A and B are shown apart, each in its own frame.
Chain A
Amino acid sequence: MPESRNKFDLAIVGAGVTGASIARVLSAYKLRIAVLEKEADISFGVSKANSGIIHAGFHHKPSSLKAVLEVKGNAMFDGLQKELLFPFKRVGILVTAFSYEEMKAVEKLYDQGIENGVPGLEIVNRDRIIGMEPVLNRDVVGGLYAPTGGIIEPYRFVFALMESAVKNGVSLFRNFEVIKSRKHKTSYTIQAASGETIEARYVVNAAGLYADEVSRLFGAEEFEIIPRKGEEFILDRLAAAFPKHVLFPVPAEHSKGILVIPTVEGTMMIGPTANEIENKEDTATTRENLERVLSLARMMVPAISKMDIITSFAGNRPVLKDNDFYIEASGKAERLIQAAGIQSPGLTASPAIAEYVKGLLEKNGLSLVRREDYDPHITGPTPIRGSSPEEVDLLVGTDPAYGRVVCRCEEVSEKEIKEAINRGHTTLDGIKFYTRAGMGRCQGAFCTYKIIKLLIQELGILPEEITKRGGKSKVILRKL
C-alpha cells in the first residue's frame, strides 16, 4: 500500500485513557496509527472527570473482566511512571467500617481481593486503622488495608501516554468527530464532521460515552451506553483534615461510595456520586449532591469543612447494562475491536486493557513487528512546585521563564505554560490539565489574563480565538 498521509493500519476512535494506552502500546510496532479525538484536546471526555485512583482490585467479582484487568493494570503503573514521569503515588487504600455488619462486608472484600490476586491485603482493627489514619472518625470499628492502591493525575497520565505514542510515530487528530464510515474490502474510510477523511485497515472503538454511537457508525454491535454521573468536590491543599490514604466506605451495589481522596498533587477530593442520567452531555452539579457528599465524607473524616471547597466538577461514566467492560473483536464489523463500557476501574485497568486489545488485534490478523527505534521515555518541563530553591535556581539558569511564577496558588512557572502550549494544549482547560495553572484556590482569577497573553504570544492568535475547551467556549468576545 502506498504510504499516503491519510492511510493507516489502525485508527483508534477516542483519546481518553483507553485510546491513549492502546496507541502507546502499539506505537512500539511498525504500524501507521491514527488516534481520532472529537474534542479540542485529549483526555477531555470521561478521563478528565475522574477520581484519579489506582484501585487495588478487591471491588469486583473474580469472574469479571474488570477484576482480571484491574489487578493486572495496577501492577503496571510503577514501570509506566519510570518511563512517562506522570504524578502517581502508591499511598494505599483503606476501606472503613463503622459497624460489625460493615466489618462482615469488609471480610467479603478481603476474600474477593485474595481470590483476585491482590497483593498485601490486610484486615485491620480499630486501633490500627486509627493509627494509620488519625483523621478518621473515632466511631470506626476497623477496615481493609490495600497497600497497592494509589493516586494519579488522570489527565496527566493520558497526556504522557499520548506524547509517548506521538513520539513513536502515532498521528493524533484533534477536533476529529467521527460521523461516518464506509467499509471496503480491507479497510474503512472514516469521515469527520469537518469533512476530513482517513482510511484505516483496523479500528478500535474507545469512544467512551459515545462507544455505542461509534459502534453503530461502523455497522458493528448495537448496545447502549448509559451515562452515570459522578460529582466531585475539590478542597484546598491547606484544608484542615488531610488523610494519608484513599478512604473508602463499605461499597454499595453499583458504586464504590463517597470517597475521601488525598490527590497526588496535594489537594483533596471528595466524591463521586453515582446517578444514572439521560443526557451524556449533562455534567451539571447540584446543591443536593454537594450536601450529600459533604455529609458522607464527614462521616469518615469529621474535620472536612465546606469552607475548604475550591471547586466542583462532574463527569459521566460510560456504563453498560451488565456493568462489565466490553472488550472483544466485533462479530459484525470485521477488523473492529470494541473497547466499551470502560468505567471504573478503567483508569487502573487501562495498561492491561491496552495489552488485551493488542492481543485481540493480533488474533484478528494485524501483524506486529517491533520497531527498532522505539523509545518508551518522554521528557517534560520540571514543575517548580515541589522543586527545591536550589533546583529552581538551576532551572532558571537554563531558561528564565522558570523563575516567572504565573499561577501563584499551584506554583506554576511560565516555562511550564509555554511547554503546554507548544505540546498542543492550546485551550485554557488543556493548559490547566497539563500544568495545574488555574486549578488552585483562586481558580484562575489571578493567572487567566497571563495565560491569555502567553497563548497570544506563543500561537500568534487573536484574543477572540482563545477558548476554554474548544468549540464555542470563547473566553474573550471582543477588544475594546
Chain B
Amino acid sequence: MKTNVYDAVVIGGGAAGMACACEMDSSGLKVAIVEREETLGGILLQCIHNGFGLHRFKEELTGPEYAERYIEKVENTSLDVFLSTTVVNIANEGEGYCVTGYSGSEGVLLFKTEAVVLAMGCRERNRGNIGIPGTRPSGILTAGLAQRLINMDGLVPGRRIVIAGSGDIGLIMARRLTWTGCEVLGVVEILPYASGITRNIVQCLKDFDIPLYLSHIISRIEGKDRVESVQVTPLQDGKPDISGSFPLECDTILLSVGLIPENELSRKASVKINHETGGAYVDAHYMTSQKGIFACGNVLHVHDIVDFVSEESVTCGRYVHQYVKHSLLDAAQYNVTPGANVKYVIPNSFIREAGRKFYLRSLIVKNDAELKVMLGEQTIIKKKLRHVQPSEMISFVLDNEAFPASLPIGDRMALEVSIH
C-alpha cells in the first residue's frame, strides 16, 4: 500500500470537486483529487444539452464544455489527480484523516491529510424508494442511467417511454429520447406542480407536445420479461382515484423522482446528516460536524444549476485553505434556521462577516413572494421574489447593509429565513 501526504484531499472530481480543488491549489495548498471514474468531469459529461455556465461564464455551454473549462484549469495547476480510484473509507487519525482508495493500477492507496472535502455528488432515487407496485421486468431504469447509455455509450434502452417524475434529468431525457426516435408517452408527476425547472418544462415537454400528468402516479407496472404497460392513476385529495386510471402501453419506464446526496462514506466518518437535505450539517465555513471534513456541491444539497455548485465549492475551498493555515475566522457562530415555507438553508450556521451567501429552498409555489430574514426579533432582510417554487434554489447575501456591525447578536440568537 502506498501512502501519500496532502494538506487536503477532495473526494470526487466533478463540478464541485474540481472548483474546490482549483481554489485550494491557487492558494498554495498541496491537494489531491480522488475520482472513481476514468476521467474528471462527473455527471456533467453525460449532460450533452446546453444551458450550463450562464451565471459563471456568461455564456451558454453544454455539460461537457462546462466540465472542460474546469478540467483545463485542473491541468494547469499542481493538483495531483487520482483517476479510477474509489474511496472506500475515511478514518479519523487524531490530527487528521486517512483516506483509503482502491485502484486497479496502484492497488490500495492511503492518503494522509489534514482536511477532507466531500464532493461525491448525488444518486438518483429509484423504484424501491418510491414503492411503485407491480412486476419487475426489464426496461425500468433511472433517467440518469438512460442518459449515460444514450449520450456516452450510444445505446438506446427503449422505444415507447413513460417517465415517472418530472425532475430535470427526466425532462431533459424526454427531449433527448424524442430526438433519437423514441416515443415519449408522458411524464407522470405525483405533485400538483413540476419538480424540474420551468425552462425545462417549456423546452423539453411543451415544445414536443409531451403530456405532463400532474397529480398523477404510476400505480402499477405490468409485463413479464419486458415492461408492457403502466397504469396511471390521478390523485384526488392526495389519494389515488382508481376510477380515473388509464393504461399507457410502453416498453420502458424512466424514473426521475429525485436525487439523494451520496453520503454513505460521510456516515462512515461519523459526519452528522441533515434529513432535510440528505447532506451534512455544515457550519459557516462549510465544515461538517467532523473537524477538518468539509462538504460542497450536490453531496451537501442538491442544486438545480451547476454554476451555483461551482460558486459554493470555491467558497468552500477558501475556507479549507484557511483551516489548514489555521487562519479561519475564530468568531462565534450562530444557527441559521428555516422558518415558514422554507425547506432548508445552507450553510446551517453564520458568522458575522460581510458577504456571506446563503442558499435555500422554498416549500411553496408562489408568485410575488417575499423572502424575510430575521435576526432574533429584528427583520434584517426583506426581498421581493417574482416567483418561488421548490425546484428552484434561492440565494441571498448577508452584507454590511443588512447586518451592520452596530447590530448586536444575542447569545442564543438565530437567523431565521422565511418565505411569505
Contacts and interface: CB of A to CB of B under 8 A. Distances in A.
Interface of A: 233-234, 238, 281, 283-287, 290, 306-307, 309-313, 384, 389-390, 392-393, 396-397, 400-405, 408-409, 411, 413-414, 428, 441-446, 448-449, 452-453, 463, 467-469, 471-480
Given A286-B133, A309-B128, A389-B89, 14 more contacts: A309-B131, A389-B108, A392-B102, A403-B103, A404-B84, A404-B103, A405-B36, A442-B126, A445-B123, A445-B145, A446-B145, A453-B153, A471-B225, A480-B156
Nearest to A468: B138
A441 to B, nearest CB: 7
Contacts of A281: 224
Contact of A479 (B86, B89, B124, B155): B155
Interface residues of B, number: 54
B275 to A, nearest CB: 9
B76 interface: no
B126 A480 contact: no
A284 B126 CA distance: 17
Contacts, number: 152
Contacts of B123: 441-442, 445-446
20 contacts: A309-B131, A311-B128, A396-B103, A396-B107, A400-B105, A403-B108, A409-B264, A413-B102, A442-B126, A443-B128, A446-B145, A449-B153, A467-B225, A471-B225, A473-B225, A473-B226, A474-B225, A476-B156, A478-B156, A480-B155
B394 to A, nearest CB: 26
Nearest to B98: A389
Most buried by B among A310, A413, A449: A449
B63 interface: no
A261 to B, nearest CB: 16
B51 interface: no
A459 to B, nearest CB: 16
Contacts of A445: 123-124, 126, 141-142, 144-145
B267 A238 contact: yes
Contacts of B103: 396, 403-404
The 6 A-B residue pairs with the shortest CB-CB distance, nearest first, are A311-B128, A468-B138, A405-B86, A473-B138, A472-B225, A403-B104
Contacts of A443: 126-128
A284 to B, nearest CB: 5
B319 to A, nearest CB: 28
B104 A284 contact: no
Contacts of B145: 444-446, 448-449
Chain B binding surface, main DSSP class:
mixed
B138 A467 contact: yes
Given A444-B145, A475-B138, A389 B1 contact: yes
A474 B226 CA distance: 7
Contacts of A392: 102, 107-108
Nearest to B84: A404
Interface in B125-153: 126-129, 131, 133-138, 141-142, 144-145, 148-150, 152-153
B128 A312 contact: yes
A286 B141 CA distance: 19
B131 A312 contact: yes
Contacts of A286: 133
A26 to B, nearest CB: 33
A284 B180 contact: no
A475 B108 contact: no
B157 interface: yes
Nearest to A396: B107
A468 B110 CA distance: 37
B410 interface: no
B138 A474 contact: yes
B220 interface: yes
Nearest to B158: A477
Contact of B107 (A397, A449, A472): A397
Given A411-B88, A442-B126, A400 B131 contact: no
B100 interface: yes
A303 to B, nearest CB: 14
B27 to A, nearest CB: 31
A400 B104 contact: yes
Contact of B129 (A290, A310, A408, A471): A310
Contacts of A233: 128
B159 interface: yes
Contacts of A472: 225-226
Given A234-B128, A403-B102, A441-B123, A313 B136 contact: yes
A476 B155 CA distance: 6
A400 B152 CA distance: 25
A350 to B, nearest CB: 25
Contacts of B137: 468, 473
Nearest to A401: B104
B289 to A, nearest CB: 17
A442 B124 contact: yes
Given A281-B224, A283-B136, A287-B131, A476 B149 contact: yes
Interface string B223-250: 0111000000000000000000000000
A253 to B, nearest CB: 26
A307 B106 CA distance: 37
